[in-house]
Amino acid sequence: MKKNIIYITSFLAISFISYCFFPFINYNTDKDPWRIYVKDRNGIVITDKANKYWYKKDINIDFKSQFVIDLLKIEDKNYYSHFWVDLYSKLWAIRSNIINWKIISWWSTITEQYIKNKYFKNNKRSYLQKSREAFLAIIFSIFKMESLEYNGVKLKNKEIILANYLNNVYVWNNIYWIWAAIEIYFWKKDLNNLSPEEISLIISLINNPWIKSLDEIAFNQYFNKIQKKLWYTFDKTIYKLNKKENIDLFPFVTNNINKLNIKNQDNSNMVTIDSKLQQYAKNILNKTLDELKTKNVTNWAIFAIDPKTREVLIYQWSRDFNSNSIDWQVDVIQSLRQPGSTMKPFLYLMALIQWANPDDLLLDLSNQYNSFLDWKTYITNNYFFKEYWLIRFKKALWNSLNNASVRLAYELWLNNVYSFYKKYWFKLDKSSDYYWYSLVLWNPSIKLEDLVWSYSNLLPNFNSQSFSSLSHLKNIDYNEEKAKFLLYDILSDPDNRDLSFWVNSILNTSIPQAVKTWTSTDFRDNLIVSYHPDFIIWIWIGNNDNSSMIWVTWITWAWYIWRNIVEKAIELWYINDIKIKIPDWIVEDEYCLDERCFRKKIIYKKEGVDYFSRILNNKYSSKDLYEKLNNDEIDRLKDFQIYLD
């Protein structure tokens, strides 16, 4: 019999202890009821709203303030003397409840209230629930379950509980924090600055958190009761409290702060986003989408970083966070999409490393290539099905000529191209045989965020001191640095854009940028990416459901959006006019365009390289070809009256 009693008692005790500790053990600290308060890199508030988790503001904890003294008089006058649970007051409350046959009071101490507010916020009040709170209050006192520091000084256990109570208590209007309440209601940031009337009102709200209005009779009666208990004499003049509007300028930032590299590690309330730049970009993009609404264009995304520090300056993956017509939950920045021609600079960089020069000639003819998939062939075509036969390396790149790119990949061997892409951080989940020649055109699906980080590897002087934070690629040889310089010069030179954008296009910003654009053949995606030692940005426009836009090309939108945002970044001093040092063994030289050198062009080339072709006289030299042509290709060129010396 005694054993059974012991077993039953032990079982009940263990069950009760487990019942008490379960919410504590499974509590997620990320959901503490702070207000979200976020400032951008310049100290401008971009988020200040009531929410159930994340950030809190810096506060002045003063346990000797009049507010704290008065609060303890009302809520727990023996706080510093009792053993966390006031047994006398608890028994007196139970007696009153029994006499009146209804719940009149629970008489919980500050510690019990804190535990209730934090761990049992949604639990209904009952004797069993109050037993849990009382048990945990004692456990907290014995084992010092929590710690807290302020200004580098560790608080005592009583101070810890009191501070946490003030941080979790509900003060009406969806506010769970005393300091947020006094700022919103009274525009004050220090408890010591509260007037007697304001103190009485806050304490009254703590005890009546679910009122609908300050005009309620029951609330006014309680307010007057608090006033008398605290011996305050004043006429009640506060009939309406400030209701600060929620600020959330960039919910895409707020809701991804812990997932992205946008959090300033020195101050948890600050992020790296520039609100002026992001808001400007948002306005420009929305205006453009309004103009394109008849072309089935519904959404856009934009991502910009400072490559020197890896700080995110702009982050927005949708036109509207609250729109029912746009699936804003699809984060385009983090989603897998096909980058298309924006991958081509890496292919051409590989060729530049392997002794290619910007003015070398590449073959641009439609052709068939073995796909190695069920004996099918891969047929290349340029965007507008035009062939350029022989074209300069730099113009083939900037104008995204598919024929020339596939032929170049054939020359470099696709397995080598595949490995080169992976070296530059492209996360390719399939083998090179799976992609085959589509690897250099459109097929790989990668995160567009990763595309930006890959572009950061293209910056010239990558190993210089200013870019030490980006030195993830080891043992970069000097020839690679020369190639990056030449690639940057190709993509930033307006003369190379003449086939698509013309020399005097609006892509010519006041400080030149290396730019690459892409439009998918089915018009599902528009992309533009630019990089500069101070600024890397990409913009996507399209539809989340992957439906095709109606004839929306880079000419339709990129000229307006990209240029305006870049010029704004220049205005805000994010982009400076940096003169990139010319590497050794790269020279500026004159290139004769005709046989008598009446017309010349200044070009960059590797030292010791000479050109023999005279383009204006339709004379081409096999010495200027980067690729080794076969007899069939040479014969096809002859059909177009192009003869190689």
Where a domain ends, among 532, 557, 580? 580
Residue 144 has pLDDT above 60, yes or no: yes
Beta strands in 330-403 (DSSP E): 336-337, 361-364, 368-370, 377-379, 389-392
Rounded CA gap, 354 and 487, in Å?
Answer: 13
How many domains does the chain fold into?
A: 2
Q: Is 69 within a domain?
A: yes
Vertex 159, ends 157 and 160: CA angle to 5°? 65
Please give the residue that has the higher pLDDT: either 192 or 329. Answer: 192
CATH of the domain at 168: 1.10.3810.10
Return the exposure string of 459-469: e unless at least 16 CB atoms fall within 10 Å of the residue's CB, then b.
bbbbeeeebee
- Dist CA 62 CA 71 (whole Å): 13
CA distance 30 to 369: 55
Residue 607 lies in a domain: no
Q: Which two tokens stand for residue 487?
A: 């690639």
Residue 300, pLDDT > 80, answer yes
How far is Cα 499 from Cα 487, in angstroms, rounded to an integer? Answer: 18
For the domain that residue 326 is a member of, what is the CATH number? Answer: 3.30.450.330
Sign of CA dihedral 426, 475, 533, 584: negative
Regarding whether 63 and 201 lie in a shared domain, the answer is: yes
Residue percentage of the chain with pLDDT more than 70: 81
Q: Are residues 222 and 273 in the same domain?
A: no
Going by pLDDT thresholds of 50, 70 and 90, the confidence category of residue 276 is: very high
Q: What is the pLDDT of residue 464?
A: 41
Same domain, 214 and 119: yes
Residues 119 and 203 in one domain: yes
What gap in Å lies between CA 559 and CA 141, rounded to an integer? 66
From CA 179, how far away is CA 176, in angstroms rounded?
9
- State which amino acid sits at residue 85: V
Q: Specify the DSSP class assigned to residue 619.
A: B
- The tokens of 278 are what? 């992001």
Single-letter residue type at 286: N
Strands 299-306 and 311-316: antiparallel
CB 148 within 8 A of CB 168: no
Q: Residue 178 and residue 175: Cα distance in Å, rounded? A: 8
Query: Is residue 610 situated within a structural domain?
Result: no
Using an 8 Å Cβ cutoff, are 169 and 206 in contact?
yes
Q: Give the Cα separation of 158 and 141 in Å (integer).
A: 8
144, 273: one domain? no
Q: pLDDT (tens digit, 9 = 90+) per residue, 221-275?
A: 999 999 999 999 887 777 788 776 778 888 888 877 766 656 655 556 788 999 9
Beta carbons of 437 and 408 less than 8 angstroms apart? no
| Nearest of 609, 632, 639 to residue 621 by alpha carbon | 609
Per-residue pLDDT tens digits for 519-535: 776 777 788 899 999 99
Amino acid at position 142, single letter: I
Question: Does one domain contain both 132 and 267?
Answer: no
- State which of 534, 554, 580 marks the end of a domain: 580
Confidence band of 465 (pLDDT split at 50, 70, 90)? very low
Written as six digits, the tokens of 626 are 């980067």
pLDDT tens-place string over residues 480-507: 888 999 999 999 998 888 777 766 777 8
Element containing residue 604 per DSSP (H, E): strand 600-606
pLDDT at 473: 44
Cα–Cα distance between 133 and 139 in angstroms, integer?
10
Helical segments of 308-431, H only: 344-353, 393-398, 402-412, 414-423
Residues 48 and 141 occupy one common structural domain? yes
Reduced to 3 states, what is the DSSP secondary structure of residue 433?
helix
In whole numbers, what is the pLDDT of the chain averaged over residues? Answer: 80
The DSSP element (H or E) to which 248 belongs, if any, is: strand 247-248
For residue 529, the enclosing domain spans 256-337+494-580
With 0.85 as the threshold, say if the pTM is over it: no
Q: What are phi and psi of 260, to 5 degrees?
A: -115, 170
Residue 455 lies in a domain: no
Which residue type, as a one-letter code, is found at position 255?
Answer: N
Contact (CB, 8 A) for 458 and 516 = no
Residues 273 and 319 in one domain: yes
| Cα angle for residues 138, 142, 145 (degrees, 5° grid) | 90
One domain, residues 171 and 266: no
User: 3-class DSSP state for residue 387?
Assistant: coil
- Please check whether residues 201 and 329 belong to one and the same domain: no
Structure confidence at residue 261 (pLDDT):
59
pLDDT above 90: residue 352: yes
Of the pLDDT bands very low, low, confident and very high (cuts 50, 70, 90), residue 117 is confident
Clarify whether residues 143 and 56 are in a common domain: yes
Other Cβ atoms less than 10 A from the Cβ of 302: the count is 23
Q: What does the pLDDT read at residue 629?
A: 92
pLDDT recorded at residue 623? 93
State how far the alpha carbon of 64 is from the alpha carbons of 20, 67, 167, 187, in Å: 33, 8, 17, 21
- Would you say 543 and 297 are in contact if contact means Cβ atoms under 8 Å apart? yes
Tell me the per-residue pLDDT of 611-620, one tens digit each, with 9 for 90 and over: 999 988 889 9
Task: Look at residue 61 and tell me if it is in a domain.
Answer: yes
DSSP helix/strand/coil, 539:
strand
Cβ burial, residue 539 (10 Å; 0-12/13-18/19+)? buried
Q: What is the pLDDT of residue 526?
A: 81
| CA atoms of 513 and 580, how far apart (whole Å) | 12
* 526 backbone dihedrals φ, ψ, rounded to 5°: -120, 130
| C-alpha to C-alpha distance for 158 and 80, rounded to whole angstroms | 7
CA-to-CA separations, 409 to 347, 372, 406, 441, 627, in angstroms, rounded: 7, 15, 5, 10, 10
Is 561 inside a domain boundary? yes
pLDDT in tens, 18-72: 777 777 766 666 556 566 778 888 989 888 776 654 445 556 678 889 999 999 9
Q: What is the mean pLDDT of residues 164-174?
A: 82
- Whether 39 and 156 map to the same domain: the answer is yes
Residue 628 lies inside a defined structural domain of this protein: no
Stretch (H or E) spanning 303: strand 299-306
HSE-up of 282 (CA within 13 Å, CB side)? 20
Residue 453 forms part of a structural domain: no
